[in-house]
Amino acid sequence: MIIRIKKYLSLVTFAHTIFAMPFAFIGFALGLRAVNFETSRPWWELLILVVLCLVFARSAAMAFNRWLDAEFDAVNPRTALREIPAGIITKRNALVFVILSCLAFLLTTYFINTLCLALAPVALFVILFYSYTKRFTSLCHLVLGLGLSLAPIGAYIAVTGEFALVPVLFSIAVLCWVGGFDIIYALQDIDFDKANNLRSIPSWLGLKKSLAVSDYLHYISFGSICVAGIAGHFSWLYWCGAAIFGYFLIYQHKLVKPNDLSRVNRAFFTSNGIASVLFSSFVLIDIYFKNHL
């Protein structure tokens, strides 16, 4: 059983949850602040439901992507050892896992509130539709970003049952942040994508211009974080976190050059994972102290 669980955790690259989860915590904390920490049920119960929603949604999206792209993964040297092409998990079992994850996500939103349940099919459509986009548009990276950007606003809605400006600004920041670093990650497959008629910014614009597009997206991301800081009336703690986040955006672009892609994985996972965790930590501490001191 443990071995089987490990196989499915590997299938959905569970460690990459570190990208969106911290921003979901920010959205959740903003929601608590909006209702003065007075919720209709214990806050920890809502938090568990939000975390489960994120896990189920992301598991469905990743497993579906692996299921849909299994034939491409099998002939790509970089991905040939993934669970489905390697025969560790069958395509049928992967699809069953997708269906069960989708059902679990919908059921969990039912226990949160009416608006979350109503928006759940829309969220599922976005995160599953992403897997098809590389077949017809080079803007697939932004669709991936859109999927992850649902985390902060979704967590906020789970607490308050309504939309608000600041969590939407965080969603915009996530959209552009993820879209930008996914372009960097896609640089590894530029030749494979061209040979197999798959669309991406790198296969369309080439290495140098793709890095420039990633730069611009990260400028927008950081700008959104700054606007959110002003609109949310955050303290100096927030701005320390924002500065750290900005540093890691710059750092990952220093790691990757058009003539040197050897550090793409370091730029993709390490720097972005650290940026997300540290930034969210400062924001959460800011929110906590502002409401308890």
pLDDT of residue 175: 97
**DSSP result, 58-115:** HHHHHHHHHHHTHHHHHH-TTTTTSTTTTTSS-HHHHHHHHHHHHHHHHHHHHTT-HH
Written as six digits, the tokens of 197 are: 């008629």
Mean pLDDT value of segment 268-272: 79
CA distance 172 to 174: 5
In CATH terms, the fold of domain 2-292 is: Tetracycline Repressor; domain 2 (1.10.357)
Tell me the mean pLDDT in the region 265-289.
Answer: 87
- Per-residue pLDDT, 4: 66
What digits encode the pLDDT tens for the residues 61-101? 999 999 999 999 999 998 888 889 888 899 999 999 999 99
Q: Is the pLDDT of residue 289 over 90?
A: no
Q: What are φ and ψ of residue 257, in 5° steps?
A: -125, 155
Contacts of 164 (CB under 8 A, 6+ apart): 30, 34, 156
The whole-number average pLDDT for the span 258-278 is: 80
pLDDT at residue 262, as a whole number: 76
Write out pLDDT tens, residues 145-155. 999 999 999 99
Average pLDDT in the 3-25 region?
Answer: 74
pLDDT for the residue 3: 61
| Residue % of the chain over a pLDDT of 70 | 92
pLDDT > 80? residue 261? no
Q: Contact 64/131 with Cβ under 8 angstroms?
A: yes
Mean pLDDT of 260-287: 86
Rounded (10°) angle between helices 21-34 and 272-292 = 20
Q: What are phi and psi of 42, to 5 degrees?
A: -55, 135
When comparing pLDDT for 51 and 255, which is higher? 51
How far is Cα 94 from Cα 79, in angstroms, rounded to an integer?
16
Predicted confidence (pLDDT) per residue in 156-187, tens digit: 999 999 999 999 999 999 999 999 999 999 99
Taking only the tens place, the pLDDT of each residue in 100-153 is 999 999 999 999 999 999 999 999 999 999 999 999 999 999 999 999 999 999
Other CB atoms within 10 A of residue 57 CB: 29
Contact 7, 83 (CB under 8 A): yes
Q: Could you tell me the pLDDT band of residue 1, with boundaries at 50, 70 and 90?
A: low
* Nearest by Cα to 183 from 105, 252, 85, 113: 252
Of the pLDDT bands very low, low, confident and very high (cuts 50, 70, 90), residue 264 is confident
Measured distance CA(50)–CA(112) in Å, rounded = 8
Distance in angstroms (rounded) separating the CA atoms of residues 47 and 271:
26
pLDDT score recorded for residue 273: 86
Residue extents of the structural domains in the chain:
2-292
What whole-number distance in Å separates Cα of residue 98 and Cα of residue 236? 43
- Please give the structure tokens belonging to residue 226: 């700054």
pLDDT of residue 148: 95
What is the chain's length?
293
